[in-house]
């Protein structure tokens, strides 16, 4: 198959047995399909089209789904697409993604013409999720020295890579000119660079690796490379994970959990005051994402984390639900079962993860799951009858 090819999808609509929510499976369970990373834009502004990844011809490529027509148009072709890091531009004109860990490409959604924006130097490898500023004029990304790089296909390699102390650099790229500049550089595994929304002066990033081994996961740096500072000093037995900016830029939100405890805590960090505030308790969710102003959040219940060294110390019961958290009420309700396996699949540590986020109208949740076969995309409408669970 090639760019421009169209696929007619057959949706399956069913009712969640536990919550009564209406669930639509968008993609066929015999074809590996998944959503992009949870804080990357995937819906057009009107909510009518959805960016996703599919392996309809054996390669994992990007598609744009007209939700009303159930027709997916192929946007990219060939091997090597980073199908987790791609995102739609704020004006819905372009897809940006990295191919073969080497080239940052822009795809015109109308013509499907591709433009090479930036090429990673030969002695480096483009790693992870690259994230644009709010105006989509530039982005931040991570490059890892080619001499240190190994494909991170499973969790054992993930653990081993942390101990290597790879040479990493955080850079910014001008999306019009392709010019780049290094913001920060260390012999420490760096990941998850994210511009603060509507404030290009501040960039968040993390020290990647097993959560119980990293010195402090979340860090910030000014765009000019000055004022590197940690977001939080970890308490004894504490791990932090899956940080994201509230889309209006008001706070950095993250998940905190303690050794030997089932539940977790949602924290908010104010970058202007440096204050960390515990917003509310939550069940054992892995990923977390908010609506635009942070009044609602959605999380995916999980089991014992695989990204820690001491798995026996962090053993928890598996939780198969998607939850929505009302921050003002300090309460949550179950949306639906995701029932994903969390397994590594086809050399990917991420493809079976739900990575939930809200639809643009906040009335439903998009997620991935392999509960019906291979990973597929689902949309769950928020249930009409909501049983709120106290924090």
Contact predicate 292/270, CB 8 Å: no
Question: Residue 53 in contact with residue 81, Cβ under 8 Å?
Answer: yes
**308, 296 contact by CB (below 8 A):** no
Give CA separation, 343 vs 200, 209, 339, 348, in Å: 36, 18, 12, 9
For residues 94 and 108, what is the distance between their CA atoms, to the nearest angstrom?
A: 5
pTM of the prediction?
Answer: 0.94
Contacts of 274 (CB under 8 A, 6+ apart): none
Task: Count the helices and strands in the chain (H runs, E runs).
Answer: 1, 31
Answer for the pair 297, 254: CB distance below 8 angstroms, yes or no.
no
d(CA 118, CA 116): 6
What is the residue-level pLDDT of the chain in tens, covering all 391 positions?
699 999 999 999 999 999 999 999 999 999 999 999 999 999 999 999 999 999 999 999 999 999 999 999 999 999 999 999 999 999 999 999 999 999 999 999 999 999 999 999 999 999 999 999 999 999 999 999 999 988 766 657 667 777 778 999 999 999 999 999 999 999 999 999 999 999 999 999 999 877 677 789 999 999 999 999 999 999 888 989 889 999 999 999 999 988 777 778 999 999 999 999 999 999 889 899 999 999 999 999 986 544 444 444 444 467 899 999 999 999 999 999 999 999 988 888 889 999 999 999 999 999 999 999 999 999 999 999 899 997 6
* 109 token code pair: 């959604």
- Separation CA 126–CA 144 (nearest Å): 7
Half-sphere exposure for 22 (CA within 13 Å, toward CB)? 6
Alpha helices of the chain — where are they, by DSSP H? 155-164
Tokens in use for 323?
């939850």
State how far the Cα of 146 lies from the Cα of 172, in Å rounded to an integer. Answer: 19
In order of 46, 86, 322, the CA distances from 91 in angstroms are 11, 15, 30
200/236 Cα distance (integer angstroms): 33
- Tell me if 286 sits within 8 A of 302, measured CB to CB: yes
Give the model's pLDDT for residue 305: 47
The label of the residue with tokens 């057959």 reads 10
Distances (CA, A) of 350 to 69, 86, 353: 29, 14, 5
322 in Cβ contact with 360 (< 8 Å) = no
User: Cα separation of 302 and 318, whole Å?
Assistant: 5
Give the pLDDT confidence score for residue 315 in this predicted structure.
Answer: 46
User: Which residue spans within 1-109 are E strands per DSSP?
Assistant: 6-8, 12-15, 22-25, 33-34, 49-54, 61-66, 71-74, 87-88, 94-99, 103-108
The three-state DSSP-derived secondary structure of 337-385 is ECCCCCCCECCECCCCCCCCEECCCCCEEEEEECCCCCCEEEEEECCCC
């Amino acid at each position: 198959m090639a760019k421009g090819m169209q696929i007619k999808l057959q949706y399956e609509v069913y009712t969640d047995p536990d919550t009564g929510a209406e669930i639509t499976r968008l993609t066929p369970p015999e074809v590996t399909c998944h959503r992009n990373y949870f804080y990357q834009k995937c819906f057009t502004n009107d909510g009518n089209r959805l960016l996703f990844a599919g392996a309809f011809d054996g390669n994992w490529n990007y598609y744009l789904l007209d939700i009303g027509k159930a027709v997916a148009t192929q946007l990219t072709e060939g091997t090597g697409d980073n199908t987790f890091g791609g995102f739609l531009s704020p004006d819905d004109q372009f897809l940006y993604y990295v191919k073969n860990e080497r080239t940052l490409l822009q795809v015109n959604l109308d013509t499907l013409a591709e433009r090479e924006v930036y090429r990673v130097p030969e002695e480096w490898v483009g790693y992870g999720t690259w994230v644009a500023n709010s105006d989509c004029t530039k982005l931040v990304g991570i490059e890892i020295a080619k001499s240190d790089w190994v494909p991170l296909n499973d969790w054992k390699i993930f653990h081993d890579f942390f101990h290597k102390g790879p040479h990493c650099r955080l850079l910014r790229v001008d999306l019009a000119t392709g010019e780049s500049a290094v913001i920060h550089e260390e012999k420490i595994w760096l990941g998850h660079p994210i511009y603060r929304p509507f404030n290009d002066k501040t960039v968040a990033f993390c020290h990647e690796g097993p959560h119980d081994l990293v010195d402090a996961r979340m860090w910030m740096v000014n765009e000019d490379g000055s004022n590197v500072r940690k977001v939080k000093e970890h308490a004894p037995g504490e791990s932090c994970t899956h940080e994201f900016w509230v889309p209006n830029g008001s706070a950095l939100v993250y998940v905190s959990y303690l050794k030997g405890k089932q539940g977790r805590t949602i924290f908010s960090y104010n970058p202007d005051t440096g204050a960390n505030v515990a917003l509310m308790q939550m069940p054992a969710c892995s990923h977390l994402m908010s609506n635009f102003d942070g009044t609602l959040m959605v999380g995916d219940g999980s089991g014992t984390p695989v990204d820690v060294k001491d798995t026996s110390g962090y053993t928890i019961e598996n939780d198969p639900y998607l939850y929505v958290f009302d921050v003002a009420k300090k309460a949550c309700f179950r949306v639906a079962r995701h029932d994903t396996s969390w397994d590594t699949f086809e050399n990917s540590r991420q493809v079976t993860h739900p990575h939930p986020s809200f639809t643009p109208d906040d009335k439903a949740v998009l997620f991935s799951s392999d509960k019906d076969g291979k990973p597929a995309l689902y949309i769950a409408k928020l249930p009409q009858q909501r049983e709120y669970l106290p924090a």
